[in-house]
Amino acid sequence: MSFWTYFWLFVPPVLLVLIGIVYYFVTDGRAEK
């Protein structure tokens, strides 16, 4: 398998979970209007 196949296979899942965690901390204490 090529480098790009490995890249698209394994980078997005890690990135998505990381974005979720960052979102959790960034929105801490910020109320929705």
Partner 1 sequence: MSAVLFGFIVYLAILLTVGILTFRFNKTLADYVLAGRRLGVWVVTFSERASGESAWLLLGLPGVIFASGLSELWVVIGCTSGILFSWMFISRRLRIESEANYALTIPEYFENKYNDTTRTIRTFGTIIIVFFFTFYVCAQFIGAGKVLNVTFGIPEFWGMVIGALIILFYTIMGGFMAVAWTDFVQSLLMVFTLVLLPIIGLIEFGGWDKIIAHIASTKADHLSILGGNTGLLATLSIISGLAWGFGYMGQPHLLARFMAIKEPDQLRKGAVIGISWAVLAFWGAMFIGLFGIVVFSGTQVADPEKVMPMMATQLLPGWLAGILISGAIAAMMSTADSQLLVTTSAVAEDIYHNFINKKATEKKLVNVSRLITFCVGVAAFIIASQSKELVFTMVAFAWSGLGAAFGPALLLSLWWRKTTREGILAGMIIGTITVVVWHFIPQLTGLLFEMVPAFIMAFLAVWLVSLITYRNNKMIAKPLN
Closest CA to 27 of 7, 19, 11, 13: 19
Quote the Cα angle for 11-25-8, to 5°.
Answer: 10
Residue 33 C-beta: closest distance to partner 1, Å: 8
Query: Which H helix or E strand runs over 8?
Result: helix 3-26
Q: Does 3 bind partner 1 (CB under 8 A)?
A: no
Within 4-23, the residues that bind partner 1 by CB under 8 A are 4-5, 8-9, 12-13, 16-17, 19-21, 23
Contacts with partner 1 by CB under 8 A lie at 1, 4-5, 8-9, 12-13, 16-17, 19-21, 23-24, 27-28, 31-33
